[in-house]
Amino acid sequence: MIKYIGQRVIYMIITLFLIASMTFFLMKLIPGTPFKNQAKMSDEQLEMMLDHYKLDEPVPVQYVAYMTNLVKGDLGTSYQFANTPVSELLGARIGASALLGFQALLVGTVFGIILGVIGALKQNTWIDYGTTFIAVIGKSIPSFVFAGLLQYYVGVKLGWFPVAFWKGPEYTVMPTIALAMFPIAIAARFMRTEMVEVLGSDYITLARAKGANYFEIAFKHALRNALIPVITVLGPLAVSLMTGSLVIEKIFSVPGLGEQFVKSVQVNDYSVIMATTLLFAFLFIVVILIVDILYGLIDPRIRLAGGKK
Amino acid sequence: MAQFDEKISKDQFEPAIIDASTSERISKPSLNYWQDAWLRVRKNKGAIVSLVVIGFLIIMALIGPSLSKFDSNKQNTKHANLPPRIEALENISWLPFDGTRTLKNGNVVNPYEQKQIEEYYWFGTDALGRDQFSRVWKGTQISLYIAFLAAFIDMVIGVTFGAVSGYFGGRVDNIMQRIIEVLSGIPNLVIVILMIIVLKPGIISITVALTITGWVSMARVIRAQVLKLKNQEFVLASRTLGASHAKIIFKHLLPNLAGVIIINTMFSIPNAIFFEAFLSFIGLGLQDPLASLGTLIDEGFRAMIAFPYQMLVPAIVISVVMIAFNMIADGLRDALDPKMRD
């Protein structure tokens, strides 16, 4: 197991290094400079600016400097947002994103599991078809379309929840629902398949033959066994939440990482784009690693397959 | 158990006649793989309805822009922000096609009468007075075009890479698998956004960005299948007869993988549509005057409070497209996947 984890961590570091390098060189390929008033600057001013930010040095020198700083944890300063160090800029925003992501994951998996279990218990009835249809819709409709509609009908028309901004618990309701749609759909479909399979297995028949009551069979025997594989979808779900958070945060004006990223992309702020990209990549990779390790702990077959390599 | 105590005498039985010619008779015509699959797809009502819907949407995407009298790029600022109005339906009160809109204070106004406009804009107009009807279908056309192109390129790269990696095995496979491992470690969101920033948004650059990581899942599935197939007798037979590697891969292995390839491609189409719309929505999509469903939703979203129809129509179209493609893909998976065969 330790060997397996070690191997995965080494892969993770290689991937991160590649992403950092790739991000750096791609940023260098972008035409133009990151300064807002470039058109108004004289050549001398531009030169001074480039010199100040060390953007006039040869690319390899910049690359080495960037990588060394990165290892030290220094992500550079923002060009656009009042020269704030990037780590400070992002640090202030990570809380909102983390809270939103956590809430959505929680709501998504809990409701998804409930829907999936109901669907499996009432297999091939209209309740089952209903939950399946909800799952298809949740999987298909893009989160930003759903968020837009939610904002208009629930926020503006009905006025149940605040339309945007991030000032208290009630402000988190709509973004959480919008972000949780996809996890609900995925968890529900997965849970239904697992549950149907478990319900058809011999030990359920035995429990039924023993005369255990319906609820005891469903929850004590079937649910606990069906829940284990659900861990495998948690990784892809967390990844989808990060993708979704970019647009959801933009729509609801949530002061999180995603909104910062979209803003930085629009104004060409290299250092913030790079740092956010790296942060996203890091989170993605760590989440997938954790899920894989968790699954390896629960299901020994995975561990063996990984160890042999 | 009482009923078993009853004695049944032997003369109540008579031996069945065993006729070898009838017992081996095949009562139904034998079906090949595709006929069999079609039988199963046909049973899936959702998939069939979706197929019809997608067919309709593709036809509309092709002929829709020319159905309307107005060009999708023609600006007419005098006719800006008009609500939808359709000739035959405008007098049916519960349909939203009467050309009126509700103001913030609850008053209902008819901009067509106020501005004395005779024309009918079926889906209304946008902030620049462009006809939404032709723009929506033009946008659908471009979104579908990007999605089909990306899915096709994914298929070609993924199948080739996976088949070569699985077929040759050994060191080739090892190196190719490491490449895949690193590529799949990079979140596709990140790479798509970076590529768009560098390449400048456009139909081709969006397609390229989508395919960079898109082919990986296809390559994985194909490799696993090829590993399974390549040790079977028919491959050995054709190798004995002197067939080249390329011929074995393309003539003998790939036809056996057709089902898997189709399922995977069908799932990558809605994925591509989603990512294209997603990019447009965060401001990295196509630039005006090009329109896709994503850019239309983005524009509509900005004017949502005053003119909800501008967001609603493209939002409905993209949702229907996504739901239909997902349902078809699900239906095909159930029908074609050999593991699901009962």
First to last CA, chain A: 12
Residues in A whose CB is inside 8 Å of some CB of B read 11-12, 14-15, 18-19, 22-23, 26-27, 29-30, 136-137, 139-142, 144-145, 148-149, 151-152, 156, 239, 242-243, 246-247, 250-251, 262, 265-266, 273, 277, 280-281, 284-285
B297-321: per-residue pLDDT in tens?
888 888 777 777 778 888 888 889 9
- Rounded distance between C-alpha atoms, residue A28 and residue A43, angstroms: 20
Question: For residue B156, what pLDDT is reported?
Answer: 92
Dig out the tokens for A36 from the structure: 């807002």
Nearest to B78 by CA among B29, B111, B43, B33: B111
Q: How far apart are CA B118 and CA B130, in angstroms?
A: 16
Cα-based distances in Å from B40 to B152, B339, B342: 25, 14, 11
Q: Which residue has the higher pLDDT, B155 or A277?
A: B155
Helices and strands in chain A, H and E counts: 14, 0
Q: CB–CB of B198 and A136 under 8 A? A: no
Q: And the tokens for B50?
A: 């979706």
Complex ipTM > 0.85: no
Q: Is B49 on the interface with A (CB under 8 A)?
A: no
CB atoms within 10 A of CB A248: 27
Nearest to A246 among B282, B305, B318 (CB): B282
Token pair 């994925």 in the structure block, residue: B271
pLDDT tier at A232, thresholds 50, 70, 90? confident
Q: Evaluate if residue B335 carries a pLDDT over 60.
A: yes
Going by pLDDT thresholds of 50, 70 and 90, the confidence category of residue B338 is low
How far is residue A306's CA from residue B90's CA, in Å, rounded to a whole number? Answer: 65
Spatial separation of the C-alpha atoms in residues B138 and B289, rounded to whole Å: 11
The minimum CA-CA distance between A148 and chain B, rounded to whole Å, is: 7
Q: From the list A15, A30, A239, which residue is nearest B197 (CB)?
A: A30
**Rounded (10°) CA dihedral B3, B9, B11, B16:** 40
CB B266 within 8 A of CB B328: yes
Residue A104: strand, helix, or coil: helix
Residue B152, pLDDT score: 92
Quick one: average pLDDT of B31-45? Answer: 79
Cα separation, B238 vs B234, in Å, equals 6
Task: Return the HEC string of chain B.
Answer: CHHHHCCCCHHHCCCCCCCHHHHCCCCCCCCCHHHHHHHHHHHCHHHHHHHHHHHHHHHHHHHHHHHCCCCCCCCCHHHCCCCCECCCCCCCCCCCCECCEECCCCCEECHHHHCCCCCCCCCCECCCCCEHHHHHHHHHHHHHHHHHHHHHHHHHHHHHHHHHHHHHCHHHHHHHHHHHHHHHHCCHHHHHHHHHHHHCCCHHHHHHHHHHHHHHHHHHHHHHHHHHHCCCHHHHHHHHCCCCHHHHHHHHHHHHHHHHHHHHHHHHHHHHHHHHHHHHHCCCCCCCCCCCHHHHHHHHHHCCCCCCHHHHHHHHHHHHHHHHHHHHHHHHHHHHCHHHCC
Q: Does residue B288 surpass a pLDDT of 80?
A: no
Q: Name the one residue in this structure whose structure tokens are 């740092």.
A: A275
Q: Is-above-0.95 flag for pTM? A: no
- Give the one of A140, A142, A284 whose C-beta lies nearest to B278's C-beta: A142
Neighbours of B334 (CB within 10 A): 17
**Contact present, B274 and B267 (Cβ < 8 Å):** no
pLDDT tens per residue across span B59-105: 888 887 777 777 777 777 777 667 777 666 666 666 676 667 766 66
> Which residues in chain B are contacts of A145 at CB distance < 8 A?
277, 297, 315, 318-319
Burial per residue of B132-169, b for 16 or more beta-carbon CB atoms within 10 angstroms, e otherwise: bbbbbbbbbbbbbebbbbbbebbbebbbbbbbbbbbee
pLDDT on residue B341 = 42
Helix B188-199 vs helix B254-281: angle between axes, to the nearest 10 degrees? 70
Contacts with B217 from chain A: Cβ below 8 Å: none
Angle at B39 between CA B38 and CA B40, to 5 degrees: 90
CA dist., res. B73 & res. B131, Å (int): 8
Residue B29's pLDDT band (cuts 50, 70, 90): confident
Q: Coil, strand, or helix at residue A226? A: helix
- Neighboring chain B residues of A243 at a CB cutoff of 8 Å: 189, 278
Tokens coding A85: 């160090």
Q: Is the pLDDT of residue A305 over 50?
A: no
Angstrom distance (rounded) from CA B23 to CA B20 = 5
| The most confident of A82-96, A103-117, A149-163, A289-303, by mean pLDDT | A103-117
Number of Cβ within a 10 Å radius of residue A105: 20
Contact status of B337 with chain A (Cβ, < 8 Å): no
Contact A138, A104 (CB under 8 A): no
Contact yes or no for A281 and B187 at CB 8 A: yes
> For B206-248, what is each residue's pLDDT tens digit?
888 888 878 888 888 888 888 888 888 888 888 888 888 888 8
- Residue B200: closest CA among A31, A177, A158: A31
DSSP for residue A170: G
Say if residue A20's pLDDT is above 50. Answer: yes
Tokens representing A219 are: 């929850």
| B297 in contact with chain A, both atoms CB, cutoff 8 A | yes
Please report the number of interchain residue pairs, chain A to chain B, with beta-carbon separation below 8 angstroms.
104
Q: What is the CA radius of gyration of chain A?
A: 24
Please check the confidence at residue B25 and state whether its pLDDT lies above 50: yes
The position carrying tokens 């929506």 is B136
Q: Are A105 and A237 in contact (CB under 8 A)?
A: yes
- Distance CA(B207)–CA(B147), nearest Å, equals 8
Cβ atoms of B329 and B44 closer than 8 Å: no
Chain A interface, mutation test: which of B102, B177, B194, B299, most A Cβ atoms within 10 Å?
B194
Using CA of residue A209, residue A210, residue A212, residue A213, what is the dihedral sign?
A: positive
* Nearest residue in A to B294, CA atom: A145
Query: For B182, which of A15, A243, A247 is closest by C-beta distance?
Result: A15
Assign A23 to helix, strand or coil: helix
Q: Which whole number is the average pLDDT over A137-145?
A: 85
Least confident stretch, A6-20, A23-37, A147-161? A23-37
Question: A266 contacts in B (CB within 8 Å)?
Answer: 283
Shortest distance, CA B27 to any CA of chain A (angstroms)? 31
CB B54 within 8 A of CB B324: yes
